Chains A and B, each alone.
Chain A
């Protein structure tokens, strides 16, 4: 696979990403101005609106008395330099707050994603192999049920069962407060706290991938090249692995890219339920305090995450499927 072709593809995608980020920043700007009320008090939030000095400072900073195009330019250049505003309530720059908690969210969503994909693809492939039999029906029903439950409720039910009734796992936070652990013990400790939230976020998407994989494998299994493989005398295992599964993974990768946005968005709910110190939790607190700067900052941050993830899945897809035209 040509390295130059790949590089060209990468460059094209990155350019698209940058354009998209720009569009989101502009959208943020428009939202602030479309909201009812004075943009300054919207930006300042509940706490800041009470402080006339802060309001005046904001007005000057955002050039709110200047024409709209200048304001847009100011806003964009601020953001481009990493200035996402300052939270009045916390008296700290928004960017700092976000960066602090980003790793926690990445840990949570990353683990949930791996769980969802591995679990989902395995179950889906299993169901497809045994289509029509009891194991298939069980898996399908399970997937259907998981797909119908709200994520936050699953989280609460898991807390109810495993934390309140059985007291096996902790129900909130990321690690034991005051324990001051290091090395392996710290990792284990965090894992205990990570299990329920990751499971919560992951189970829903596991259902999505299970159904998708099952459908994709059944569809691919009926295609001509699978018959060709059997006619060559390829044993059934080889047919499933080399021919069916490989081709069935393509739609799974596509959907994974599309689902990324929902996965990251779902983290706000899970982090709220489990008091997980990530940017989702940050957003929830900002909601309560009506600190819109933080909210918009988190929105931008999560969008960038999704874009990066989409880039990875696009590259993965193009690498696997030689029919994708790279230029």
Chain B
């Protein structure tokens, strides 16, 4: 695999945007991991006077309406964003691959049924569905991850199904069949490895939209009440934006940078994975 992997990383890193995105993500990861060291107190602790502008007293990014440290909130919030983004994406991808592979390989009525099911989830407004789910099942990190996963899996299923349908009639799959390989071997060892590269790109974009979804939910007050998150901070700063703009601006910048970084990494992945496929003769 060395030849392929080396090729891949080379192309990826040569894309400046993707490299920058990777760097930003690393920073965010470091912030999340060292939040406890940088801010050895709970982000919910009142650390001083409320509405302190950034730079005053010891508040790097200012303090909120209850005197809490905005910078600490951002560092600890990074944990929530990355955690929820990653876990809900993994669940959504697993769900999507399973349903998509079954639909694509089995065909016929099974395919039809799964496609109607997928269509349902793609028709209803996904954010609204997430809101309804989290509201009804009480906001908690579990219900948020589940809700985001439930509204995010359809594109994965669609892509995997499309890949399966196209690969199923590709000659090297026919060859595997004629050689006498078992059905499971064909699905898992011939088709699936070739179907996965669009999913890798899709997954990084899905983490980005999961983070956006989570921030929207906590902005509306549907976040886990025990965990501080960037969306919640923006929501808390909404009504006092005239006197404390930093409460809304900085968490938003954090979301912006993280999501942008993920999108850049996703595009870099897409470029790196495609030239190999396009290289013929």
Contacts and interface: CB of A to CB of B under 8 A. Distances in A.
A157 to B, nearest CB: 7
A23 B129 CA distance: 14
B234 interface: yes
Contact of B135 (A164, A272, A287): A287
9 contacts: A31-B132, A144-B260, A160-B245, A160-B249, A287-B220, A288-B221, A295-B132, A299-B132, A303-B125
Contacts of A296: 132
B88 interface: no
The size bracket of the interface on A is 35 or more
A176 B242 CA distance: 20
B256 A149 contact: yes
Interface string B109-131: 00000000001101111111101
A28 to B, nearest CB: 8
B128 A265 contact: yes
Nearest to B128: A265
A265 B127 contact: yes
B212 interface: yes
A48 to B, nearest CB: 15
Range for the number of chain B residues in contact with chain A: 35 or more
Contact of B136 (A157, A164, A265, A292): A292
A150 B126 contact: no
B127 A262 contact: yes
Given A153-B215, A262-B125, 20 more contacts: A27-B124, A31-B132, A35-B137, A148-B256, A149-B255, A150-B215, A153-B234, A153-B252, A153-B256, A156-B234, A164-B241, A261-B125, A265-B127, A265-B128, A268-B131, A283-B128, A287-B222, A302-B128, A306-B124, A307-B123
A187 interface: no
Contacts of B120: 20, 23-24, 27
Nearest to B231: A150
A86 interface: no
A8 B119 CA distance: 21
B62 to A, nearest CB: 14
A153 B128 contact: no
* Chain A interface helix/strand/loop/mixed: helix
Given A148-B259, A152-B219, A292-B135, A299 B124 contact: yes
Interface string A77-116: 0000000000000000000000000000000000000000
A121 B115 CA distance: 30
A147 interface: yes
B220 A284 contact: yes
Given A156-B248, A157-B249, A160-B245, A20 B123 contact: yes
B241 A268 contact: no
B216 interface: yes
Interface centre among B129, B255, B264, by most chain A C-beta atoms within 10 angstroms, is B129
A298 B56 CA distance: 45
Nearest to A284: B220
A216 B158 CA distance: 20
Interface of A: 20, 23-24, 27, 31-32, 34-36, 42, 144-145, 147-153, 156-157, 159-160, 164, 258, 261-262, 264-266, 268-269, 272-273, 283-284, 287-288, 290, 292, 295-296, 298-299, 302-303, 306-307, 310
Contacts of A32: 136
A262 B252 CA distance: 20
Interface of B: 119-120, 122-129, 131-133, 135-138, 208, 212, 215-216, 219-222, 231, 234, 237-238, 241-242, 245, 248-249, 252, 255-256, 259-260, 263-264
The 6 closest A-B pairs by CB, nearest first: A265-B127, A265-B125, A153-B252, A148-B260, A148-B259, A261-B125
Contacts of B242: 164
Contacts of A24: 120, 124
Contact of A261 (B123, B132, B219, B241): B123
B216 A144 contact: no
Given A164-B241, A292-B135, A266 B256 contact: no
B249 A306 contact: no
A299 B212 contact: no
A310 B123 contact: yes
Contact of B129 (A20, A144, A160, A299): A299
A287 B131 contact: yes
B187 to A, nearest CB: 28
A91 to B, nearest CB: 21
A164 B120 CA distance: 42
B177 to A, nearest CB: 30
A160 B241 contact: yes
Nearest to A24: B124
Given A24-B124, A262-B126, A264-B125, A150 B255 contact: yes
B55 to A, nearest CB: 19
A299 B245 CA distance: 33
B238 A156 contact: yes
Given A157-B252, A299-B132, A150 B124 contact: no
B136 A42 contact: yes
Nearest to A300: B124
Which of B119, B120, B124 gathers the greatest number of chain A CB atoms within 10 Å? B124
B127 A272 contact: no
B127 A266 contact: yes
B248 A153 contact: yes
